[in-house]
C-alpha cells in the first residue's frame, strides 16, 4: 500500500484543488523527497482518467513506469524509441498510463511526431517530470498538442528550479500548488544536512570563460579544469577529506573525468568513470560495483544528475562549477538521501533527525573548489538551500562558508544569516521608530507579518505578473487585509498562513490582532481566543486574568475526558 508522507499528501491535495480553477499547476519538491511517488498518487486518484507522463531520460521513463505499476496496480506502457504503447485496442483496453520521452513524442510521424499516435481527447492529465525543461521548444510543441483538449489538466514536477527559469515556468504553469525546498526537507528530517567545504585553489581561474546558454561554456571550462595543477588540486584534497567515505565526482568533460579517475587510481583508490558514451552494459556493471562498495569514487560527466538514486553517497565533489541553480541542485541532490530504511516508520522530525545524526551518514559533505570567478556568479549550497530567502541572505551564508576554512552546516549558516539580517532590520526599524509616532492599533487594515511574526520570503519568478482571484481577494478583505497594498507574493504567503492556521484550529487574524494588543500570545486556538477576549470585554477581567482562567478552564475540561 502506498503511504504518503505529510508533505506529499498536502502536495497532492493542493494539486487537485488547483485543478478545480486552473488548467496547469507546478509542484516543486527536491531530489530524494519522492516526486515519483507523488505522481503515482495523482495517477491513482485520477483513475479512470488516462495519464500521459513525459520525461527526457531513459532512467526517468522506466523508473516512472515501474513505480506506477508497483504503487497503483495500473498498467503503464512505455512509448520510447523502439517501444510502443498499445494504442490499437479499444479505449478501455488501452493502458491507463503512458510514459514517454519528449524526444520520441517529437520524432517521426511525417513531421507531426510520434505524439500523433495519441488522441489528446482520450487523456485527462499530462504530467511533466523535471518540469524545468518544459520551457524548451520541444516541450512546448508537445504540450500544445495535448492542450488542444481544453478539459485536460497539466502538472509539472521539478526539484529546485533555476531562478532564471522561474519566470518562464510561470508562463507555462498557471499556479504553483506546492513549493517544498531542500531546507524544508532537511529541517523535517527527510534529507540529511548538507555541509559545504570551500577549497581555495589559486591556479583556478574562471574569469576568461565565456557564458553559453546561461552557464559556463563547456569547452572553455574543460580547458581550465584539465590543466595538470588543477587536476591535482581537486583530486588531492578530495582523497584527504573523503577518507573511506563513498564519493560521487562531477567532472567538466570527458578528458577531465578520465584524468581524475586516473589520479584517484594512482593514489591506490578504487575509482570508475562513466559518461553518455559509456556502453550500457559497462555502465550498469560500474554502478552495481559502486553501490556494492567495490568502487569508492564514481566520476561522471553530466550523466548522473537525474534519475540516479544511491543513498550511500557521503561526499559530492563538484569538479564542474556552474551558474545554474537547477544543475547544482541535481548534483548535490544525488547525495542528500538518508541511508536506506533509516527513517522509515519514524513519525516526528526529531526522531528522523536523531536517527540521521546517529547513523553512518550524519550529513552530506559537498566539496567546492574556489578560484577567481571573475564576472561569474557561481552557485553554492547557499543558493539551493535559500530558495525562499533573499539574495542578501544567500550571499551572507555563502560568505560564511568561504571564510570558515572547514565544513559548514549550510542550513545553520542560512538561519544565522537570517538572524543577522533580522537583527539589522530590527535596529534600523527601532531607529526609524524614534523618528515617527507609533501607529495606532485601530488601523483599518491588519499586518499579518507583524502579528504572526511571519518572515517575508523572496518573490519567485513564476509569481511575476500573476493576480489574485476574486475569491482570494474577498477572503483577504474579510480578514482585514487590503490586497491592493501588497504584492501577489505577499498575499499568497498570507493566504498560506491563514489556511495553515485554520487547519490547525488556531485563532483568526482578527482575534490575533486583539490578543497582540493586550500583549497575549497569538498561538491560541479559536476557542481559547474567544474565551480570553470574552473575559476581557464582557466580564471586564484584566488580560492576564482572562488568559490564565481560560487556559485553566480548558485544562480542567481536558482532564475530565476519559481515556
DSSP string, 465-508: T----HHHHHHHHHTT--GGGS-HHHHHHHHHHHHHHHHHTBPP
Q: Model pTM?
A: 0.78
436 domain-assigned: no
Q: CA 357, CA 216: separation in Å to the nearest integer?
A: 36
Question: Residue 112 contacts by C-beta under 8 Å, 6 or more apart in sequence?
Answer: none
In this structure, what are the phi and psi dihedrals at residue 336, rounded to the nearest 5 degrees?
A: -90, -5
Same domain, 391 and 468: no
Range of the structural domain that residue 108 is part of: 6-180
438 domain-assigned: no
3-state helix, strand, coil in the chain (%, to 5): 50, 15, 35
| Number of domains comprising the chain | 3
Q: Determine the angle formed by the axes of helices 526-537 and 509-517, rounding to 10 degrees.
A: 50
Same domain, 213 and 346: yes
222 domain-assigned: yes
285 domain-assigned: yes
Q: Which of 381, 405, 420 is the last residue of a domain?
A: 420
Cβ-based neighbour number of residue 538 at 10 Å: 9
Domain CATH code at residue 333: 3.40.50.300
Question: Residue 252 contacts by C-beta under 8 Å, 6 or more apart in sequence?
Answer: 218, 221, 222, 225, 226, 301, 319, 320, 321
Cβ-based neighbour number of residue 439 at 10 Å: 10
- Going from the C-alpha of 236 to that of each of 230, 243, 248, 261, the distances in angstroms are 10, 11, 15, 12
Report, as an integer, the average pLDDT of 145-155.
96
Q: CA 71, CA 73: separation in Å to the nearest integer?
A: 6
Same domain, 340 and 210: yes
- H/E stretch holding 71 reads helix 58-72
Of the listed ranges 75-79, 365-369, 435-439, 519-523, the least confidently predicted one is 435-439
Task: Using CB atoms within 10 Å of the CB of residue 559, give its burial: 0 to 12 exposed, 13 to 18 middle, 19+ buried.
Answer: exposed
189 domain-assigned: no
Question: Residue 266 contacts by C-beta under 8 Å, 6 or more apart in sequence?
Answer: none
Q: What is the pLDDT of residues 33-78, one digit of tens each?
A: 988 999 999 999 999 999 999 998 888 899 999 999 999 999 999 9
Same domain, 415 and 539: no
Q: CA 215, CA 317: separation in Å to the nearest integer?
A: 19
Check pLDDT > 60 for residue 354. yes
75 domain-assigned: yes
Closest CA to 508 of 484, 541, 532: 532
Q: Check residue 386 and give its pLDDT.
A: 74
- H/E stretch holding 118 reads none
Task: State the Cα angle at 167 between 164 and 171, rounded to 5°.
Answer: 140
Same domain, 502 and 472: yes
Q: Do the Cβ atoms of 161 and 388 come closer than 8 Å?
A: no
| HEC assignment per residue over 254-277 | HHHHHHHHHHHHHCCCCEEEECCC
Reported confidence tier of residue 128, pLDDT bands at 50, 70, 90 = very high
Same domain, 264 and 345: yes
Alpha-carbon torsion 456, 458, 460, 465, what sign?
positive
Check pLDDT > 70 for residue 561. no
Backbone region of residue 189 per phi and psi (left: phi > 0; alpha: psi in -120 to 50; beta: other values):
left
Same domain, 206 and 317: yes
Same domain, 551 and 493: yes
Q: Which of 125, 155, 180 is the last residue of a domain?
A: 180
Same domain, 233 and 381: yes
188 domain-assigned: no
223 domain-assigned: yes
Report, as an integer, the average pLDDT of 527-545.
90
Same domain, 494 and 397: no
Same domain, 354 and 284: yes
Report, as an integer, the average pLDDT of 237-246.
94
Q: CA 90, CA 110: separation in Å to the nearest integer?
A: 25
Q: Check residue 438 and give its pLDDT.
A: 36
Closest CA to 118 of 134, 100, 136: 100
Same domain, 235 and 151: no
Check pLDDT > 60 for residue 435. no
Amino acid at each position: 500500500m502506498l503511504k504518503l508522507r505529510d508533505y506529499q499528501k498536502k502536495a497532492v491535495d493542493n494539486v487537485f484543488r488547483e485543478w478545480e480553477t486552473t488548467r496547469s499547476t507546478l509542484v516543486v519538491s527536491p531530489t530524494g523527497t519522492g516526486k515519483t511517488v507523488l505522481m503515482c498518487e495523482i495517477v491513482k486518484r485520477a483513475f479512470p482518467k488516462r495519464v500521459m507522463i513525459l520525461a527526457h531520460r531513459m532512467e526517468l521513463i522506466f523508473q516512472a513506469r515501474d513505480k506506477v505499476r508497483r504503487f497503483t496496480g495500473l498498467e503503464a506502457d512505455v512509448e520510447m524509441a523502439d517501444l510502443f504503447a498499445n494504442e490499437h485496442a479499444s479505449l478501455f483496453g488501452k493502458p491507463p498510463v503512458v510514459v514517454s520521452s519528449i524526444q520520441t513524442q517529437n520524432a517521426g510521424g511525417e513531421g507531426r511526431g510520434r505524439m500523433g499516435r495519441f488522441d489528446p481527447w482520450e487523456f485527462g492529465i499530462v504530467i511533466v517530470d523535471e518540469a524545468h525543461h518544459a520551457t524548451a521548444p520541444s516541450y512546448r510543441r508537445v504540450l500544445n498538442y495535448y492542450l488542444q483538449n481544453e478539459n485536460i489538466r497539466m502538472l509539472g514536477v521539478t526539484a529546485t528550479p533555476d531562478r532564471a527559469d522561474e519566470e518562464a515556468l510561470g508562463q507555462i504553469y498557471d499556479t504553483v500548488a506546492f513549493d517544498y525546498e531542500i531546507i524544508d526537507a532537511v529541517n523535517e528530517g527527510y534529507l540529511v544536512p548538507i555541509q559545504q567545504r570551500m577549497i581555495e585553489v589559486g591556479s583556478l581561474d574562471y574569469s576568461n570563460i565565456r557564458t553559453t546558454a546561461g552557464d559556463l561554456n563547456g569547452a572553455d571550462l574543460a580547458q581550465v579544469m584539465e590543466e595538470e595543477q588543477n587536476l591535482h588540486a581537486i583530486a588531492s584534497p578530495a582523497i584527504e577529506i573523503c577518507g573511506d567515505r563513498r564519493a560521487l565526482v562531477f567532472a567538466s568533460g570527458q578528458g577531465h573525468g578520465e584524468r581524475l579517475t586516473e589520479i584517484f587510481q594512482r593514489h591506490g583508490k578504487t575509482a570508475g568513470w562513466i559518461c553518455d558514451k559509456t556502453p550500457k552494459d559497462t555502465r550498469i556493471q560500474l554502478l552495481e560495483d559502486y553501490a556494492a562498495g567495490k568502487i569508492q569514487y564514481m566520476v561522471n560527466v553530466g550523466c548522473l544528475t537525474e534519475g540516479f538514486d544511491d543513498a550511500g553517497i557521503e561526499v559530492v565533489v563538484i569538479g564542474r562549477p556552474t551558474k545554474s541553480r537547477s544543475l547544482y541542485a541535481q548534483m548535490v541532490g544525488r547525495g542528500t538521501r538518508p541511508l536506506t530504511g533509516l527513517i522509515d516508520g519514524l513519525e516526528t522530525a526529531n526522531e528522523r533527525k536523531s536517527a540521521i545524526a546517529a547513523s553512518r551518514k550524519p550529513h552530506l559533505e559537498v566539496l567546492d573548489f574556489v578560484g577567481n570567478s571573475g564576472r561569474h556568479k557561481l552557485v553554492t549550497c547557499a543558493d539551493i538551500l535559500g530558495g525562499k530567502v533573499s539574495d542578501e541572505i544567500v550571499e551572507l551564508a555563502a560568505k560564511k562558508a568561504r571564510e570558515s576554512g572547514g565544513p559548514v552546516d549550510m542550513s545553520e549558516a542560512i538561519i544565522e544569516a537570517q538572524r543577522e539580517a533580522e537583527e539589522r532590520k530590527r535596529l534600523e526599524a527601532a531607529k526609524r521608530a524614534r523618528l515617527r509616532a507609533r501607529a495606532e492599533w485601530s488601523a483599518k487594515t491588519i499586518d499579518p507579518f507583524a502579528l504572526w511574526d511571519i518572515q517575508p520570503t523572496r518573490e519567485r519568478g513564476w509569481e511575476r505578473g500573476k493576480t489574485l482571484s476574486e475569491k482570494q481577494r474577498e477572503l483577504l478583505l474579510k480578514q482585514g487585509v487590503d490586497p491592493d497594498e501588497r504584492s501577489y507574493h505577499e498575499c499568497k504567503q498570507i493566504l498560506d498562513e491563514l489556511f495553515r492556521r485554520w487547519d490547525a484550529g488556531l485563532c483568526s487574524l482578527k482575534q490575533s490582532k486583539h490578543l497582540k494588543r493586550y500583549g497575549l500570545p497569538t498561538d491560541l486556538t479559536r476557542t481559547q481566543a474567544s474565551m480570553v477576549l470574552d473575559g476581557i470585554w464582557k466580564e471586564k477581567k484584566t488580560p492576564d486574568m482572562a488568559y490564565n482562567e481560560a487556559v485553566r478552564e480548558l485544562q480542567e475540561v481536558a482532564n475530565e475526558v476519559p481515556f
